[in-house]
Amino acid sequence: MFELTHHKVHDENRQGGVFAPLVSTHPFSTGEASVQKIFYIESYGCAMNFADSEVVASILQDKGFGVTQNLQEADLILLNTCSIREKAEVTVRKRLTEFRRLKKEKPGLLVGVLGCMAERLKAKFIDEENLVDLVVGPDAYRTLPGLIEEAETGQKGVNVLLSREETYGDIAPIRLNSNGVTAFVSIMRGCNNMCSFCVVPFTRGRERSRDADSIIKECKDLFVNGYREVTLLGQNVDSYYYLSPALSIDEDGAVTFANLLERVAKISPLLRVRFSTSHPKDITDDVLFTMKKYDNICKYIHLPVQSGSSRVLQLMNRTYTREWYINKVNRIREVLPGCGLSTDVITGFCSETEEDHQGTLSLMEYCEYDLAYMYYYSERPGTLAERRYEDDVPEVIKKRRLQEVIAIHRIQSLVSMQKEVGKTARVLIEGNSKKSEEYWAGRSDNNKVVVFPKADNKLYKGSYADVLITECTAGTLIGNLIK
């Protein structure tokens, strides 16, 4: 994802910093003489969905499946779906309609829906003839091979049961669409925060943390295999908490997120560590001081605010006020000067007034985010907000308010980039620049895209370079290698 503009906004298929859709194209060998079946997978939504697709690929590989980027070659088409925004569901339904035409042309072709949309709309998918053959929730991927066999007999293969234990911690993901440098590592699943606008607690279940040993092993294996950056993933990573007598870091044997972060950082100073997403109420001083202690823990925090109005935050059940959030931002900047900061913002939530909206604008101006993901409110069926509140802000007002938030952020993102000019950035090279193979592209510690000429042929993808920033656009820093 080189040279993405830092004011990328209103992408309703995105949550937590990942853009969608993405087609998985990584070929792999099953170790058998021939692959039995070929599957094609598209992932929509948050980083967790992309990580889950890599788990699914591993499960299917073990059963002799291969993967393709060509729909026409596939025996099985899977859509790993998102329910966070209505637009995401509309996009998936459109794709399923297109796949239904393929099913008519290719008898025996199976189509499956995975993930959050499968969990939320299971009954509808089961009832709709010839649209899907498989409906599999986020905690049921281990049963996918058996469900495929069931679907091949003409029955619907369905499993949407949620689990209080499943973390897929023992499964080594197949890295799909990998650049060979950066990778996602899931550390927990589910969410206990009942934000009134959000479907995640209903589609991904209760929060549970993955075995710390399995996380460290996965990160070590990635480093040995040439990866130089891992992003620790969870719906709310800061609430990670794993009890293990064999890992007695604290007296009670508990592994907190700060403990885990430190252990991953200690794997090697050459392994960069990022994490997403943080809930403001849970990011502690322990985490901030651990970030400060280790140079290879990137100084970048995604801290969703959602609204700048304390009244609206209460309706959203965000469990903090505007003033509390601002104090948390101040604390981050006190402990970690220069730390990159990004956020999520929703405009037009139920009963939002013009005064509430002005509070959001003023908070945006105060926090000066480097990156923001901004949406207007999309009511999701089954959420607390849908049951408790009236979606009473007209769409035209929602969109106008969104544009005002975007306008402020566009100015802030450019100013944020301009502040880097004249400074030196430590860049992890992820590959060639999109625009020219004569340039390397990578990211700085604080998550800004950097491109620079290939002045030294000793550099390679996955190596580090010190780059003097000489100019910028709103989304990219441009510089020259410091010899």
CA distance 348 to 377: 5
Domain termination residue (choose one: 395, 418, 441)? 418
* One domain, residues 413 and 432: no
* One domain, residues 410 and 429: no
* One domain, residues 192 and 338: yes
Q: What is the pLDDT of residues 54-80, one digit of tens each?
A: 999 999 999 999 988 888 899 999 999
* One domain, residues 466 and 362: no
* One domain, residues 118 and 198: no
Cα–Cα distances in angstroms (integers) from residue 253 to residues 119, 245, 279, 287, 327, in the given order: 35, 5, 24, 18, 31
Residue 391 falls inside a structural domain: yes
CB 247 within 8 A of CB 200: no
Residue 59 falls inside a structural domain: yes
Residue 165 falls inside a structural domain: no
CA distance 464 to 450: 12
CB 329 within 8 A of CB 367: yes
Residue range(s) defining the domain that contains residue 187: 182-418
CB 413 within 8 A of CB 467: no
Residue 175 falls inside a structural domain: no
* One domain, residues 237 and 363: yes
For residue 417, the surrounding DSSP H or E stretch is: helix 395-418
CA distance 434 to 78: 29
Residue 1 falls inside a structural domain: no
Q: 2-11, 142-151, 401-410, 435-444: which range is least confident on average? A: 2-11
Q: 26-40, 196-210, 399-413: which range is least confident on average? A: 26-40
CB 228 within 8 A of CB 181: yes
CB 308 within 8 A of CB 322: yes
Burial class (CB in 10 A: 0-12, 13-18, 19+), 127: exposed
* One domain, residues 325 and 402: yes
* One domain, residues 393 and 433: no
* One domain, residues 324 and 368: yes
Percentage of the chain modeled with pLDDT above 90:
70
Q: How many domains does the chain have?
A: 3
Residue 438's CATH number: 2.40.50.140
* One domain, residues 362 and 463: no
CA distance 186 to 277: 11
Cα–Cα distances in angstroms (integers) from residue 52 to residues 214, 277, 290, 414, in the given order: 16, 16, 28, 34
Q: Which amino acid is at 168?
A: Y
Residue in 23, 46, 3, 7 with CA at minimum distance from that of residue 276: 46
Question: What DSSP designation does 237 have?
Answer: G
Mean pLDDT of all residues belonging to the chain: 88
CA distance 44 to 49: 7
The confidence band for 130, taking pLDDT boundaries of 50, 70 and 90, is low
Residue 244's CATH number: 3.80.30.20
Residues 174, 182, 432, 24: is their CA dihedral positive or negative? positive
Q: What is the pLDDT of residues 311-349, one digit of tens each?
A: 999 999 999 999 999 999 999 999 999 999 999 999 999
Asked if residue 28 has pLDDT above 50, the reply is no
Residue 133's CATH number: 3.40.50.12160
Residue 430 falls inside a structural domain: yes
CA distance 157 to 252: 43
Q: Which two tokens stand for residue 380?
A: 């999701």
Q: Which residues contact 110 (CB under 8 A, 6 or more apart)?
A: 75, 76, 77, 133, 134, 148, 151, 152
* One domain, residues 270 and 294: yes
Q: What is the pLDDT of residues 131-171, one digit of tens each?
A: 899 999 999 999 999 999 999 998 888 999 888 888 999 99
In the predicted model, what is the mean pLDDT of residues 361-388? 95
> Which residues, listed in sequence order, are joined to residue 443 by a DSSP beta bridge?
428, 449
Domain termination residue (choose one: 418, 440, 460)? 418
Instruction: Tally Cβ neighbours within 10 Å of residue 129.
Output: 7
CA distance 52 to 190: 13
H helix intervals, 234-321: 257-265, 285-293, 310-315
Q: Which two tokens stand for residue 362?
A: 């003023």
* One domain, residues 277 and 405: yes
Residue 452 falls inside a structural domain: yes
Q: What is the pLDDT of residues 384-431, one digit of tens each?
A: 999 999 999 999 999 999 999 999 999 999 999 999 999 999 999 999
Domain termination residue (choose one: 367, 390, 418)? 418
Rounded to the nearest 5 degrees, what angle is found at the Cα of 96, between the Cα atoms of 91 and 98?
100
Its pTM stands at: 0.86
Residue 92 falls inside a structural domain: yes
Note the pLDDT of residue 182.
96
